[in-house]
Structure 1
Amino acid sequence: MSTVYARLRVTDPARWRAVALAWRRWAALAGALCGEFGPAAARLREVWSGAAADAAVARLGGFRRRLVLFRLFCWRADQALSEFAAALARARTLLDRARRRAGRSGLVIDDDGAVRGPAADARPVAADLALAITVAARADEAAAARLGGLTGAATPPADPVRPGCTAAPAEVRRWWATLSPAERNWVLATEPGSVASTDGIPAADRDLANRLLLEQHRADLGRLSRGTGGLDELTARLEDDAGPRAYLMGLDTAGDGRAVVALGDPDRAGNVLTHVPGMTSDLASLGGELTRAERVAVRAAELGPAQSTSAVLWLDYDAPDFLHEAFSDRQARDGAPELRRFQDGLRATHDGPRAAQTVLGHSYGSLVVGESAASGPLEADRVVLVGSPGVGVDSAAQLTVPAERVWSSTSLTDPIQYLAVRPGTGELWFGENPSGPDFGARGFRSQPDAGHLGYWDVGRPALDALATLALGGEPVTRR
C-alpha cells in the first residue's frame, strides 16, 4: 500500500495522456506514409513492367501492410495508456478528497499513507485513500497486462468460417474470442470493413477498424462532392486528448451520416450510458451531441471517481430532419431493433463484472428508446427519457424495463411539451407524457430554464442528475 500511495502522490495523469497522444500521432504519421504507397505503385507500373517490376510492387505492398500493422500497434498502446491515465485521474480525485478531509479534521497522512488522528475522524479519510490505491493498483495491473500482450504479428485465421450477418452479438463475440491476437490483427488490417460496425466485436477493435477506414470515408465524400465538415470535426475529436479517449465504433457517411462514438472504453467501464439523440441529428451535428454525452461521462467521474463510466453516442438510426418527419414514428420503429442489438453487443463484449447499462433518449431519441423497450427486451438496467414527445406507450408498465427503473424529466421551458401536442387533445404526439404523473416513471429534477438542450449545462441540476443515474445512484427527485 505504501509503495502505491507514494507513486500515486507524485503521479501526473497528464503525462500519461501525453504518451498516449504520442502513440496516436505515430499512427497518424504511418497513415500518411501508407497513403503514398498506392500512387507510388501506380507510377511505377506506368514506366516499368516485367518480373522485376512485379517484385518491386509486391515489396511496396509488403511495406504498406507492415505500416498498417504498426498503426494497429500504436493505437492499441494509445488505448491502454489513455485508459490508464483516466483511471489515475480518478484515483487522484479520491486522493485529493482524502487530503481535504484530513485537513478539515486536523488529521495527518504520513508518507506511508497511514492516517494519524482520532479513529472516528480518520475512517472516511482512510476509506478514500484505500479506494484511491485500489483504483490505481488495478489500473497499473491492467495497463501492464495490455501493453505486455501487444503484438505486431498478423496471420490469416486458421478457420475461414465466420458468423453470418444475422448472427447474434453473443455469437460474434464467441467467434472473435477464438481468434489469436495475430489472427485478429490480420482481419483488422486486411478487411476492416467486415468488423468495423459489427455488434459483438469489442469496442477497442471496432475503433481500430474504423480509424483505418477514415480516409476511405473522406475520399467517398470527395467523389460525391459533399462537404467533409462533420467528418473533419469527428476526426479532430478522435485526435484530441482533452477529454476521455474517443472510440469510433461505427461510421457511415451515406445519406445524412451515422456514427457511434464511445467516450471511454465501454467494455472496461463499470457504468455505460448510451445517449440516443433526437431530430436533426446527423454527421454534421455530431460535435454538439458528442459534447453532451461527454459532459455526462466527465461529471460521473467527478461524482463517482471510484467507478469508471463510459458514455456512448449512438447515432445509428435515420433521425428526422424536419418536423413533418418527426410527426411519424416510422424512423423510431426502424431504429428500435438496431438499438436493442447494440445494447446486446455491449453486454456481450464487456470485460469483467457486469456493467450497469443506462440508455438515455433525448427528444425524438426518447421515442426510439421507448419503441426499443416496448417491442422487445432491451439490455438496460435503467432508461432515462429527457425532453420527450412521448415514447409510443402510455405507461411505464408497458416497457420491458421495470417501471421503477424508468426515469424522466422535462424542463418547464422545454418547448417539446407544446410543439408535440396532438391538436384538440392536449396529449403528446406519441402517447402519455413520460414526465407526467400518470405515466408511472420516476421523475428527476431539471432546472426550469433548461429549454430543450440545457439538460447538459455544466453546473446545473439536470447534468448532475444524469451523471448520478449513469452511476446507478438516486438523483434529486422532481419538485
Structure 2
Amino acid sequence: MSGFQLAVRLASEAARALDDPARAMAAQAWVGGGAPAFAAELDRRRRALAAALEAALARLADEGDAVPSLAGPATYLGAARGVFAGVEPAQLHRLVNGLAAAADELPRAAHSLGAPGVAAIGVWSADRSDDLRRRLALIQRDDAALAPAPLVAFGLYGGHAPSPAADLLTRAAAGDTGALARLLDLQRRAADPTLAARVNAWWRLLDPSSRDRALTSLPGLGLLDGLPAAVRDRANRALLAREKTRLAVLLTTVPADPHLRLTWPGFLDRVLHELRHVQAIEDGLAAGGRNGRPPALLLSFDTRALGQAVISFGDPDAADRVVAYVPGLNTRLASFGGDLNRAAVLWDQAHYFAPGQRIASIAWLGYRAPQIDWQLNVPGRSVAADGAAEVGARSLVSLADGLRASHDPSRSAKLTVLGHSYGSLVTGKAATLRSGGFADELVFVGSPGVGVRSAEELGVGPGRVWAGEAPGDFVADLARFGNDPCDTSFGARRFGTRGGSVFGAHSSYWDDDSQSLKNLANIVNGNYHKVSR
C-alpha cells in the first residue's frame, strides 16, 4: 500500500471521529436548553473536520492521486428540536465519551497528516467533553435523585417548558379517556413538534402497573404517536378485536322502536362497511410473517367512513432503515390491500439486496385521500385542490415525530418517506411543516407536484430528494401543484423506472423485477451507487 493510500485510510477514520457524538445528540442525549446551539456547533465542526482532512490529502497527493470526499451524513432518527428540555444519562455518557475519544484521536491524525486545523477540532472536543462531564457529575451525585428513565429534565440543561400535554398525560395515566381524546386532538393539529417526545417520555417513566392500567382503561391509547411500536400494536389489536365484536353484535340486534326500523337497512350497511374495513386490516396484518417477512405491526386505524390504517412490516423502533409509503388518489381502507402489498414488496426487495439490514416498511393511510366520486368538486376533498393534503400533512408529520421519539436511541437509522401520486403532495407539505426535522430522505413517484418549486425548499438537504416517472404516466406530467419533481430545474435526483407495466404506468413502480422497485430498494438501503439513472 502506498503512502498516499495510508494517508487516505487515516483521514477517512479521523473524519468519522465526531459521528458518534452526533448520533448521541440525535438519540436525545440532550434536548432543549442549550442543546440546539451545541448540536449546530457539533455539525459545523464535523464539516470543518472533513474539509481540513481533504485539504491535507490534497497537499500530500501526487499527480494522478484522487482525493476522496470525506463529508458524509451521520444518519439517524434524531430528536425533534423544540421547547421540551431534558437529558438521557446513558446517551449523555455516550456523547461525553465520544468527544473524549475524538480529542485523543484527532491530534495524532493532525500530526501524521500535517493538518493543524484538525488538531484545533480535537482541542474543541476535549473542552466540550470536560464541560459536559462536569455537568453530568453534578446531577449524578450520590445525594441526587437519579433519572429512572430517559428524557427527564434537569435544571443544568434547561427545565420543562409549559405545555398542555403535561397535565393531559398525567390525567391519561389515571385512566381519563377525555384527556386521551384531547391529546389525540393535539396530535392531529401537529402544532407541537415535541408532543411525541413527551408521550414517549411519559410512557417510559410509568411503572409496569401504571402501564397495564393505561392499556386496560384507555382503548385508544395505541393511536398516540410516540409510544413504542410494539405497545401500539398490542393496544390497537385489542381495540380492533373489540370493534369487531361490537359490530358483530349490532348485526344481530333489531331495534324495538318501529321508527328506527325504517332506517335499519342503511344502518346495517354502515355496520357491514366497517366490518369489511376490519377484515381489510386483518388481511394486511396477516401478510406479515410470511416468506421471511417480519411480523406486521398495527400502528393506527379507523374503520369509520373511508377508513384509515397504518401498518408496518418490521419494527420501526429497532430498524436501521425505515420507509413510510404515502398513497394517493382513490385510496381507501376497503381497497388498501394493494397499497399494503406495495409496502410489503418494497420490504422484500430491500431485504433481498441487504439481508443484514433491519428494515421497517410502513404503509401509511393516515388521511382521507381524494376520491373520484360525487365529492370530486367539494373543497377539502377534491384531487384538484390541496385541502386534503394540508390535513394529511399534519398527520404525516405526527407519524414522523413519533418514529423519531420511539426509535431505539442506541441504534442509528434513516427515515425515508415515499410519496406516490397525490401522496407526494401530502409528503411535500409535511416536509415544509417540519423543515429540517421531518425525514432524512424524500422519494416521489408519479407526482403531480409537491407544493414547492424546488427540492431545496423541502429542507432535507442536498441530494436527499429523489424523483421517478414511468413512461406514459400522465399524472406525473400534470405539474398541478408546483414544479414537476422530475424536471431538471426542480433539483431532485432522478432514477430509472423501466420494466413496469406498459398500461398501468401510474401504478407500475412496484411491479416485480422492475427497475423502479430495485431503485426504490437501493435508495431505502442507502446504496446510492447502485441506483440506475
Distance 1:249 1:209 in 2: 9
Distance 1:473 1:205 in 2: 32
**CA gap 1:356/1:186 in 2 versus in 1, 3 angstroms:** same
Is the Cα–Cα contact under 8 Å of residues 207 and 249 in structure 1 kept in the other structure?
yes
Q: Please give the residue correspondences for 1:261-410 in structure 2 after superposition, counting only pairs within 5 Å.
A: 261-322=311-372, 324=377, 325-351=382-408, 352-377=410-435, 378-410=437-469
Is the Cα–Cα contact under 8 Å of residues 172 and 200 in structure 1 kept in the other structure?
yes
Aligned to 2:199: 172
Letter in 2 for 1:361: G
Superposed CA RMSD in Å reads 2.3
**CA gap 1:477/1:298 in 2 versus in 1, 3 angstroms:** closer
**CA gap 1:461/1:202 in 2 versus in 1, 3 angstroms:** same
Among 484, 491, 495, the residue aligned to 1:444: 495
Is the Cα–Cα contact under 8 Å of residues 157 and 183 in structure 1 kept in the other structure?
no
| Unmatched segments (≥5 aa) in structure 1 | 1-155, 422-427
Alpha-carbon distance, 1:475 to partner: 5.6
Is the Cα–Cα contact under 8 Å of residues 445 and 476 in structure 1 kept in the other structure?
no
SS, match of residue 312 in structure 1 = strand
Alpha-carbon distance, 1:373 to partner: 1.1
Letter in 2 for 1:437: T
Matched, 1:216 2:275: no
Alpha-carbon distance, 1:448 to partner: 5.7
Matched, 1:259 2:342: no
Letter in 1 for 2:228: P
Is the Cα–Cα contact under 8 Å of residues 455 and 462 in structure 1 kept in the other structure?
yes
Among 463, 466, 474, the residue aligned to 2:517: 463
**CA gap 1:439/1:284 in 2 versus in 1, 3 angstroms:** same
Distance 1:285 1:158 in 2: 36
SS, match of residue 360 in structure 1 = strand
Alpha-carbon distance, 1:412 to partner: 1.0
Alpha-carbon distance, 1:250 to partner: 0.4
**CA gap 1:414/1:157 in 2 versus in 1, 3 angstroms:** closer
Alignment deviations for residues 7-62 of structure 1 (CA, whole Å, 9 cap, x no partner) = xxxxxxxxxxxxxxxxxxxxxxxxxxxxxxxxxxxxxxxxxxxxxxxxxxxxxxxx
Alpha-carbon distance, 1:408 to partner: 0.5
Distance 1:295 1:158 in 2: 39
Distance 2:342 2:395 in 1: 22
Among 180, 184, 188, the residue aligned to 2:215: 188
Among 266, 272, 279, the residue aligned to 1:226: 272
Matched, 1:474 2:528: yes
**CA gap 1:369/1:157 in 2 versus in 1, 3 angstroms:** closer
| Unmatched segments (≥5 aa) in structure 2 | 1-170, 187-191, 251-269
Is the Cα–Cα contact under 8 Å of residues 443 and 477 in structure 1 kept in the other structure?
no
Distance 1:301 1:253 in 2: 31
Alpha-carbon distance, 1:236 to partner: 2.9
SS, match of residue 393 in structure 1 = coil
Distance 1:431 1:157 in 2: 42
Letter in 2 for 1:346: L
Q: Please give the residue correspondences for 1:68-217 in structure 2 after superposition, counting only pairs within 5 Å.
A: 165=183, 166=186, 168-193=195-220, 195-217=221-243
Alignment deviations for residues 333-369 of structure 1 (CA, whole Å, 9 cap, x no partner) = 1111221111011000001323210000000000000
Distance 1:475 1:458 in 2: 21
Letter in 1 for 2:461: P
SS, match of residue 438 in structure 1 = helix
Q: Which moved more, 1:460-469 or 1:364-373?
A: 460-469
Alpha-carbon distance, 1:159 to partner: 6.8
Letter in 2 for 1:314: W
Alignment deviations for residues 121-155 of structure 1 (CA, whole Å, 9 cap, x no partner) = xxxxxxxxxxxxxxxxxxxxxxxxxxxxxxxxxxx
Distance 2:465 2:476 in 1: 19
Alpha-carbon distance, 1:434 to partner: 0.1
Distance 1:170 1:366 in 2: 26
Alpha-carbon distance, 1:326 to partner: 0.7
Alpha-carbon distance, 1:160 to partner: 7.1
**CA gap 1:300/1:449 in 2 versus in 1, 3 angstroms:** closer
Distance 1:357 1:452 in 2: 24
Distance 2:529 2:428 in 1: 21
Distance 1:239 1:397 in 2: 40
SS, match of residue 444 in structure 2 = strand
Alpha-carbon distance, 1:225 to partner: 3.1
Using the size of structure 2 for normalisation, the TM-score is 0.56
Distance 1:298 1:183 in 2: 38
Q: Which moved more, 1:357-366 or 1:316-325?
A: 316-325
Using the size of structure 1 for normalisation, the TM-score is 0.62
Distance 2:281 2:323 in 1: 20
Alpha-carbon distance, 1:158 to partner: 8.3
Aligned to 1:453: 507
Aligned to 1:136: none
Alpha-carbon distance, 1:216 to partner: 3.1
Is the Cα–Cα contact under 8 Å of residues 196 and 250 in structure 1 kept in the other structure?
yes
Matched, 1:236 2:305: no
Name segments (4+ residues, structure 1) moved above 6 Å. 156-164
Alignment deviations for residues 434-471 of structure 1 (CA, whole Å, 9 cap, x no partner) = 01111100111111644111111121211111111111
SS, match of residue 432 in structure 2 = helix
Alignment deviations for residues 185-244 of structure 1 (CA, whole Å, 9 cap, x no partner) = 222133231x12100111100101111011333356565333333321321332453132
Q: Which moved more, 1:468-477 or 1:172-181?
A: 468-477
Is the Cα–Cα contact under 8 Å of residues 468 and 496 in structure 2 kept in the other structure?
yes
Among 482, 485, 499, the residue aligned to 1:434: 485
Alpha-carbon distance, 1:283 to partner: 0.8
Distance 1:219 1:273 in 2: 33
Q: How many residues align?
A: 315
Letter in 1 for 2:276: G
Q: Report percent identity of matched pairs.
A: 38
